[in-house]
Amino acid sequence: MANITRIEWLLYLGLFALALSLRVYDLSAKAMHHDESLHAYYSWELFQGSGLIHNPMLHGPLQMQLTSLIFFLFGDTDVTARILYVSAGTILIILPIFFRNLLGKHGAIMVAVLLSISPSMVYFSRFARNDILIALFTFGMVITMWNYLISGNKKNLYLMSGLLALSFSTKENAYLIVGTLGLY
C-alpha cells in the first residue's frame, strides 16, 4: 500500500461513501425474503437466549452469531438484521487497494468502482444471507494468498487461516473455494 496518493485515498473514501449510501438507502423498504427471515429469526432466537442448534439448512452459524450480537447492540429490526451484510459489502469496496501492486493504480480503482455500483453486489449487500460474507472472505483469501506468494511473509498465511475459518463457519461452499485456490 505504499505510495498511495492523497487523491487516491479521497477516491476510495468517496467510493466507500457511495457504496455505503447505495447499500443503506431505504434498507427497510422491502419485506424480508424467506431466506432472510430464517436467518433473522434464528439470530433473534439466539439473541433471546434460546441458543443456536446448527441446522445445515441455515449453512454456518457465524452469521446468526454476528447478527444476534448486532441485535444485542442495536435492537432487533429488519434494518439491523441486514447491517452485517451491508457492512461486509461495503468493506469489500476497500479491498482492491491490496491488489494495487498487481492491478495498478487505475485498475484497482476501477475494481472498486465496479464493486461499488454493481447491481448484483448492491443487491447481495442488502440481503440478509451469507453470499456477501463469502465474497468478502474469498476476496480476502485471494489477496492474502497472492501477497504470500509474492513476499513469502507468513503473516499472510495466518490471515488466510483466519479468513478460511470464517468461511468454513459461514457456508459449505468454502470447501469448493479452498479446492479452487489450492489448484492455483
Residue 137 near residue 97 (C-beta atoms within 8 A): no
C-alpha span between 20 and 14 (Å, rounded)? 10
pLDDT in tens, 78-99: 999 999 999 999 999 999 999 9
Query: Half-sphere exposure (CA, 13 Å, Cβ side) for 72?
Result: 12
State yes or no: pLDDT of 2 exceeds 70.
no
Q: Which domain holds residue 113?
A: 6-183
| Mean pLDDT of the chain, nearest integer | 94
C-alpha span between 26 and 7 (Å, rounded)? 30
Domain for residue 51, yes or no? yes
State yes or no: pLDDT of 1 exceeds 80.
no
C-alpha cell at 180: 479452487
The model's pTM: 0.93
C-alpha span between 68 and 17 (Å, rounded)? 26
Domain for residue 1, yes or no? no
Number of domains, the chain: 1
C-alpha span between 173 and 155 (Å, rounded)? 25
Domain for residue 16, yes or no? yes
pLDDT in tens, 8-54: 999 999 999 999 999 999 999 999 999 999 999 999 999 999 999 88
Domain for residue 50, yes or no? yes
Domain for residue 167, yes or no? yes
Q: Where are the beta strands (DSSP E) in the chain?
A: none
Whole-number Cα distances in Å, 147 to 37, 65, 109, 170: 38, 30, 19, 24
C-alpha cell at 50: 434460546
CA dihedral 137, 141, 142, 146 (to 10 degrees): 160
pLDDT in tens, 85-139: 999 999 999 999 999 988 999 999 999 999 999 999 999 999 999 999 999 999 9
C-alpha span between 55 and 40 (Å, rounded)? 14
